[in-house]
Amino acid sequence: MWNGIIAAYKDFFGVKEGENIVTLNEGNTPLIPAENIGKMLGGLKLYLKYEGLNTTGSFKDRGMTMAVTKAVQEGSKAIICASTGNTSASAAAYAAKAGLKCFVLIPNNKIAMGKLAQAIIYGAEIIPVEGNFDDALRIVKEIAEEGRVTLVNSLNPNRLLGQRSGAYEVCDQLEGDIGYLAIPVGNAGNISAYWAGFNDYYKAGKIKALPTMLGFQAEGAAPIVEDRVFQEPETIATAIRIGNPASWEKATAARDESKGLIDKVTDEEILETQKLLASKEGIFVEPASAASVAGVIKLSRKGYFQKDKTIVCVVTGNGLKDPSVVEVEKESKVYGVKTEGIKELIYKSLGSEEND
Q: Which of 27, 38, 114, 186 binds ligand F0G (CB under 6 A)?
A: 186
HSE-CB for 71 with a 13 A CA cutoff: 34
| Minimum CB distance to ligand F0G, residue 149 (Å) | 17
In 201-352, at which residue ranges do the beta strands (DSSP E only) sit?
A: 212-218, 261-265, 310-315
Distance, in Å, from the CA atom of 120 to the CA atom of 66, rounded to the nearest integer, reads 22
Interface pattern 247-286 for ligand F0G (x via CB under 6 A): ---------------------------------------x
Distance, in Å, from the CA atom of 45 to the CA atom of 334, rounded to the nearest integer, reads 36
The piece of 96-104, 144-152, 179-187, 332-340 that touches ligand F0G (CB under 6 A) is: 179-187
Our CB check for ligand F0G shows the closer of 45 and 318 to be 318
The helix or strand, by DSSP H or E, that contains position 129, with its residue range, turns out to be strand 125-129
Three-state DSSP class for 176? Answer: coil
| Minimum CB distance to ligand F0G, residue 183 (Å) | 8
The piece of 164-172, 173-181, 182-190, 261-269 that touches ligand F0G (CB under 6 A) is: 182-190
Our CB check for ligand F0G shows the closer of 45 and 149 to be 149
C-beta neighbour count of 154 within 10 angstroms: 28
| Minimum CB distance to ligand F0G, residue 315 (Å) | 8
Sheet containing strand 125-129, edge to edge, reads: 125-129, 101-107, 78-82, 150-151
Q: Which of 64, 95, 116, 185 binds ligand F0G (CB under 6 A)?
A: 185
217 is a site residue for ligand F0G (CB under 6 A): no
188 is a site residue for ligand F0G (CB under 6 A): yes
Burial of 341 from C-beta contacts in 10 A (0-12 / 13-18 / 19+)? exposed
HSE-CB for 309 with a 13 A CA cutoff: 16
Interface pattern 116-155 for ligand F0G (x via CB under 6 A): --------------------------------------x-
| Minimum CB distance to ligand F0G, residue 337 (Å) | 35
Burial of 334 from C-beta contacts in 10 A (0-12 / 13-18 / 19+)? exposed
Residues binding ligand F0G: number (CB under 6 A)? 22
Our CB check for ligand F0G shows the closer of 84 and 244 to be 84
| Minimum CB distance to ligand F0G, residue 335 (Å) | 33
Q: Interaction with ligand F0G in 36-95: which residues (CB under 6 A)?
A: 58, 60, 83-87
189 is a site residue for ligand F0G (CB under 6 A): yes
Our CB check for ligand F0G shows the closer of 192 and 310 to be 192
Q: Interaction with ligand F0G in 280-319: which residues (CB under 6 A)?
A: 286, 288-289, 316-317
HSE-CB for 316 with a 13 A CA cutoff: 29
User: Between the CA of residue 110 and those of 55, 86, 127, 292, what are the distances in Å?
Assistant: 23, 12, 13, 21
- Helix, strand, coil share of the chain (percent; to 5): 45, 15, 40
Question: In this structure, which long-range contacts are made by residues 301-305, counting pairs with CB atoms below 8 Å and at least 24 apart in sequence?
Answer: 305/44, 305/179, 305/180
**Residues of this chain that bind ligand F0G (CB under 6 A):** 58, 60, 83-87, 154, 184-190, 239-240, 286, 288-289, 316-317
